Structure 1
Amino acid sequence: MKRHDPDLPLMTLLRVGRIHAPEPLEATDILIADGRIAALGRDLDIPQGWPVHRVEAPDLIAVPAFIDQHVHVTGGGGEGGGGSRCPAITAREIAAMGIATVVGVLGTDSISRSPADLLAKVRDLKAEGIDAYMYTGAYRVPPPTLTGDLQRDLAWIPEVIGLGELAISDHRSSQPRQDEIERLVSEVRVGAMLAGKRGICHFHLGDGKRGLEPLRRLLAETEIPADQVIPTHVNRHRALLEEAADYALTFAACVDVTAFDELGEDDPSGFDAVCLLLDRGVPVERITMSSDCNGSLPEFDAQGAYLGMRVARNTALVADWQRLVNEKVLPLEDALGVISGNVARVLGLHHRKGRLAVGFDADITLLDSQLQPRRTFVGGRCVYPER
C-alpha cells in the first residue's frame, strides 16, 4: 500500500483558468488526495477544517504532465573516451520542462556505466519527486542486465519496464543478427507477461543503410505484436523518416521522433518529423516525441573516426511541441498526446498517467498562455518550482 509522504499536505486544491484532460473540461478545480486526483469540478466546496493546501493559478492551464521515454539520466556519451562522458540530469532540469515521468537509458557506454548505476539514479530521481523508470540493457548484444536475465529484470525490478536502447543500423551497435533480435524481443515479451508489464523493446536507429529493415522483418516474420517494438530517432535523416512513415502505416506501429536541439541544415527537427508523419497519413495516436537529453551528439568523419560531441538537452522537446500548437499543426488536445497520453499508452502506464481524471496520478503541468511550463506537480507534489 502506498505510504503518505509526510511532506505533502493531506489534500491540495488547484484552482486554474482552464483544464485540458487532454480534451477541454468545464472544470477549473482539481482536488488532489494522497498523490492522486480525487475530484474535478468548478468551485469545489471543501468542508471547513479539512487539511487542504490551496494553489490559486487563475492565469494558467492545467494539462497532463509530460512523459519523456528516452533520457540518459546518468549521462550518455563516452565515444571519445572517458573525458567525453555526459553529465547526469537533475530533477529540477526535468521538472522545469513540465516533465513528471522519465525512462532512463544507458546507450553506448555500458562499461563505465551499468544497469545498476542507472537503477540507482532512477531511485534518486524518485526520491527527489520525479516518477522514474528504466530500460534494462544498452546498445550492445547480449544486453547487460541487473540480475543476469532479461525476464528476471522485468519480473523482480519494479522500475524496469522494458529493454533498450538496443542499437541497430548504427556503426556503434553490436550488429545483431536477425535471429538475435527476435530472441531478445521474445524474451522480453514473455518476461513482461509474467510481470504484468507492457515490456516494450526500445530500438535506437542509427543512420545506417539498413534503416528499419530489421524491425520490418521482425514484425513480418514473427508473431510479435507491433506495440511491443518502439523505434526511436526515426528523424535522424529524411530518408529514414520517410521509411518510418511507411513502417508505421504498414504495421499499424508507433514511432518515436527525437527533439534534437542541434541539427544539420537538412535534418528534420522533432517538429518537422511530426508534420511529415501526419502529412503521410500516420495517425497522431501512433506518434510520440522524446528528448534523448543528456545523451551525446557525437560527430564522426566519413571513416567513422570521432571528431567531437555536444550534450543534448530537453529544452527542444517543449519548444518543438509548442510549435505544433502555435503553428496550428495540431490542436492542444492532440498535441498533448505526442508527449503525454500516447507515451503513457506505449509504456503501459495509461491506466494512471497521460490524463487528468479521477483516480489517475496527480501528475499535472501548469502552462502559461505561451504554453511555457510554470509549475510541475508529480504525484501531487510541486516539484517545480520548489516550494
Structure 2
Amino acid sequence: MSPEEVSKPGLMMLLRVGAIYSPERLEQTDILMAGGKITALGSDLDLPKGWPIEVVEARHLIAVPAFIDQHVHVTGGGGEGGCGTRCPEITARDIAAMGIGTVVGVLGTDSISRSPADLLAKVRGLGAEGISAFMYTGAYRVPPPTLTGDIQRDLAWIPEVIGLGEIAISDHRSSQPRQDEIERIVSDTRVGAMLAGKRGICHFHIGDGKRGLEPLRRLLSETEIPADQVIPTHVNRHPALLEEAADYALAFNASVDVTAFEDAGDGLSAFDAVSRLLKLGVPPERITMSSDCNGSLPEFDANGTYLGMKVARNTTLIADWQRLVRESVLPLEAALGLISTNVARVLGLHATKGRIAIGFDADVTLLDSELQPQQTFVAGKCVYDVSNTE
C-alpha cells in the first residue's frame, strides 16, 4: 500500500507488544494493521516517514487473537417468569471489555416478544459500534422462526446469518421436536449454507432431560450429516451429561461447547468441565467455551415451576478461561483455542478469524501478565481501552 492509497489519517495502526500468540508463540513482536486486516508481522518494523500510522507502544502486554463468543443473547434472554423477567440487551463495551471481538447472537425461549428481525437489528447495531457480530436464525422452538420464512433463504441472503440456533432439545422448554423434524431443519441449514458458502452450523441447546444427546447421536448415526454441522452447548449442565458429551465427541470426532455458568448449581463450571473433558480424552481442539451472556439463568422446581432467575454475564467466561491457564490445565497456546481458534473453525470463520496472521482480520486483544484484557481491536480499530473507561 502506497502513501497515495492511504488517504485517511490513522488508517494504519502498528502495535508494538511484548509477545504475540497466534495462538502459537511467534518470534515477531510488531503487528501492522491496515484496511481492517493484519498486513505485516515483524520486530522493530521500520516504516516510511509521513505515512498515517498510529503507533501503540505496549511492550508490557501480550497480543492474542480477539476472543469469539458463539452464544450471546445480544437482545437479552429470559422471560420464563413473565414480561418482568426479560433480560437486558448487551452493550458493545461489555463485549469488548472482556477481550471479545466477535459474537454470535441467539434467541432462546422467547421468540414471541423478540424476533429474528430484532436480533438482526441488534447485530447490525453492534457492527456499527465496532464489534464483529453474526447471528443464528431460529430459536428454541421447531419450526424455527426465520427472517424470510425459510431457513435456506436466511442463510443464502442474509450475510450475518451463519447458522441455526439455539434449538432446544431434552428440555421441558423445548417444543419437543420429533427426530424427523430435527433431521429436516439440520438438512435445510446445511443446504442453505452450501448455497451461501458458509459452514451453517446447527447450535443445539441441551437441557437436563433424560434424552440428553441421544437425538444428536441418532442424527449423526442415521443420516449423512457430518459431525461438524452440529454443535451441542450447555453440555456441562450436570456431570452425567458431560460424561455423555465426552463419549459423543470421541465417537463422532465432534466438537462440544461448555457454558461458563456463573452459578453452576448441580452442573460444572466451565473450568471443571474443560478439565474433566480433557481427562476423559477429548482433544482440546474439540472443545469450545461460550458465555450464554445476557441470557437467563432460571430456576425451576421438580415440577417445572418457575422459581427465580439471574442474568448471565461474560465475566465468568474470561475468569474460567484464565484459571485454565493459571492452574496449568492447558498452556496458553492451547487454551486460546477454546475461545478463539477452535470457535472460528466451528463457525466456519477460520479463514479470517481466530489467528494473528497476515491477511486475517485485524482482531487483536492485548492481555496483561494476569491475562486480563487491556485493549481490544476489531478490524484494526480500538473498541476498548482500559485506560479510557469512564
User: Structure 1 residues 6, 76: closer, same or farther in 2, change over 3 A?
Assistant: farther
Please give the residue correspondences for 1:18-167 in structure 2 after superposition, counting only pairs within 5 Å.
18-167=19-168
Instruction: Measure the CA separation in 1 of the matches of 2:21 and 2:141.
Output: 41
- Percent identity, aligned pairs only, is 80
- Secondary structure of the residue that 2:87 maps to in structure 1? coil
Instruction: Measure the CA separation in 2 of the matches of 1:348 and 1:313.
Output: 25
Letter matched to residue 248 of structure 2? Y
Instruction: Measure the CA separation in 2 of the matches of 1:195 and 1:258.
Output: 29
RMSD, matched Cα: 1.3
Which structure 1 residue ranges, 5 or more long, are not aligned?
none
Task: Give the structure-2-normalised TM-score.
Answer: 0.97
**8 A contact 2:8–2:52 mirrored in 1:** no
Instruction: Measure the CA separation in 1 of the matches of 2:231 and 2:267.
Output: 21
Residue 270 of structure 1 pairs with residue 270 of structure 2: yes
Residue 226 of structure 1 pairs with residue 227 of structure 2: yes
Residue of structure 1 in register with 2:309 after alignment: 309
- Secondary structure of the residue that 2:50 maps to in structure 1? coil
For residues 82-129 of structure 1, give each alpha carbon's deviation from its aligned partner in whole angstroms, at most 9, with x where no partner exists. 000000000000000000000000100000000000000000000000
Residue 294 of structure 1 pairs with residue 294 of structure 2: yes
Instruction: Measure the CA separation in 2 of the matches of 1:110 and 1:221.
Output: 30
Instruction: Measure the CA separation in 2 of the matches of 1:7 and 1:263.
Output: 49
**8 A contact 1:67–1:343 mirrored in 2:** yes
Q: How far does residue 263 in structure 1 lie from its aligned partner after superposition?
A: 2.1
**8 A contact 1:102–1:133 mirrored in 2:** yes
For residues 34-92 of structure 1, give each alpha carbon's deviation from its aligned partner in whole angstroms, at most 9, with x where no partner exists. 11100000000110111100100110000000000000000000000100000000000
Residue of structure 1 in register with 2:185 after alignment: 184
Residue of structure 2 in register with 1:380 after alignment: 380
Instruction: Measure the CA separation in 2 of the matches of 1:333 and 1:369.
Output: 15
Q: How many residues align?
A: 383
Please give the residue correspondences for 1:349-360 in structure 2 after superposition, counting only pairs within 5 Å.
349-360=349-360
Residue of structure 2 in register with 1:361 after alignment: 361
Residue of structure 2 in register with 1:210 after alignment: 211
Residue 335 of structure 1 pairs with residue 335 of structure 2: yes
**8 A contact 1:199–1:228 mirrored in 2:** yes
Letter matched to residue 153 of structure 2? R
**8 A contact 1:274–1:287 mirrored in 2:** yes
Q: How far does residue 7 in structure 1 lie from its aligned partner after superposition?
A: 8.2
Residue 282 of structure 1 pairs with residue 282 of structure 2: yes
Q: How far does residue 6 in structure 1 lie from its aligned partner after superposition?
A: 9.2
User: Structure 1 residues 352, 8: closer, same or farther in 2, change over 3 A?
Assistant: farther
User: Structure 1 residues 6, 281: closer, same or farther in 2, change over 3 A?
Assistant: farther
Instruction: Measure the CA separation in 2 of the matches of 1:287 and 1:301.
Output: 31
Q: How far does residue 262 in structure 1 lie from its aligned partner after superposition?
A: 1.3
For residues 210-234 of structure 1, give each alpha carbon's deviation from its aligned partner in whole angstroms, at most 9, with x where no partner exists. 0000000000000000000000000
Q: How far does residue 8 in structure 1 lie from its aligned partner after superposition?
A: 7.1
For residues 148-188 of structure 1, give each alpha carbon's deviation from its aligned partner in whole angstroms, at most 9, with x where no partner exists. 00000000000000000000000000000000000110010
Q: How far does residue 9 in structure 1 lie from its aligned partner after superposition?
A: 1.7
Letter matched to residue 97 of structure 1? M
User: Structure 1 residues 76, 20: closer, same or farther in 2, change over 3 A?
Assistant: same
User: Structure 1 residues 306, 194: closer, same or farther in 2, change over 3 A?
Assistant: same
Instruction: Measure the CA separation in 2 of the matches of 1:212 and 1:124.
Output: 35
- Secondary structure of the residue that 2:120 maps to in structure 1? helix
- Secondary structure of the residue that 1:353 maps to in structure 2? coil
Q: How far does residue 385 in structure 1 lie from its aligned partner after superposition?
A: 2.0
**8 A contact 1:8–1:381 mirrored in 2:** no
Instruction: Measure the CA separation in 1 of the matches of 2:26 and 2:299.
Output: 47
- Secondary structure of the residue that 2:141 maps to in structure 1? coil
Instruction: Measure the CA separation in 2 of the matches of 1:365 and 1:207.
Output: 35
Q: How far does residue 267 in structure 1 lie from its aligned partner after superposition?
A: 2.1
Letter matched to residue 380 of structure 2? G
For residues 240-260 of structure 1, give each alpha carbon's deviation from its aligned partner in whole angstroms, at most 9, with x where no partner exists. 000000000000000000001
Instruction: Measure the CA separation in 2 of the matches of 1:124 and 1:5.
Output: 27
- Secondary structure of the residue that 2:281 maps to in structure 1? coil
Instruction: Measure the CA separation in 2 of the matches of 1:8 and 1:270.
Output: 43
**8 A contact 1:205–1:231 mirrored in 2:** yes
**8 A contact 1:296–1:311 mirrored in 2:** yes
**8 A contact 2:93–2:384 mirrored in 1:** yes
Letter matched to residue 138 of structure 1? A
Instruction: Measure the CA separation in 1 of the matches of 2:296 and 2:183.
Output: 28
Instruction: Measure the CA separation in 2 of the matches of 1:7 and 1:223.
Output: 51
Instruction: Measure the CA separation in 1 of the matches of 2:7 and 2:123.
Output: 21
- Secondary structure of the residue that 2:104 maps to in structure 1? strand
Instruction: Measure the CA separation in 1 of the matches of 2:294 and 2:285.
Output: 27
